[in-house]
Homo-oligomer: A and B are copies of this chain.
Amino acid sequence: MSPRSTTASGRARPRRCSRPSSPQGADPEDGMDETVQVAVHLDEGDAARMRMALNNIANLCAHYAQAGQAVAVELVANGPGLALLRADLSPLPEKVAELAADGVRFSACANTLRGITRDEGAAPALLPAAQIVPSGVVRLIELQRAGWAYLRP
The 0/1 profile, CB within 8 Å of B marked 1, for residues 37-55 of chain A is: 0100101000000001001
Question: Least Cβ distance of A149 to chain B in Å?
Answer: 4
Of A3-11, A24-32, A91-99, A132-140, the one with at least 4 CB within 8 A of chain B? A132-140
The yes or no answer to A36 lying at the interface (CB within 8 A) is: yes
What residues of chain B lie closer than 8 Å to A152, measured between beta carbons? 41, 152
Question: Considering only CB atoms and an 8 Å cut-off, how many residues of chain A contact the other chain?
Answer: 27
- Contacting pair B79 A134 (CB below 8 A): no
Do B38 and A135 touch (CB < 8 A)? Answer: no
Indicate if the CB atoms of B135 and A140 lie closer than 8 Å.
no
| A36-B145, A52-B79, A145-B36 known; A137+B151 contact, CB < 8 A | yes
A144 interfacial by beta-carbon distance below 8 Å: yes
Indicate whether A141 reaches chain B with its CB closer than 8 angstroms. yes
Q: Are B52 and A43 in contact (CB under 8 A)?
A: yes
Whether B52 contacts A138 by the Cβ 8 Å rule is: no
22 A-B pairs within 8 Å (CB atoms) are namely A36-B145, A38-B141, A41-B151, A43-B52, A43-B153, A52-B79, A56-B78, A59-B111, A59-B135, A59-B137, A59-B138, A60-B135, A60-B138, A60-B141, A63-B134, A79-B153, A140-B149, A140-B151, A141-B151, A149-B150, A150-B150, A152-B152
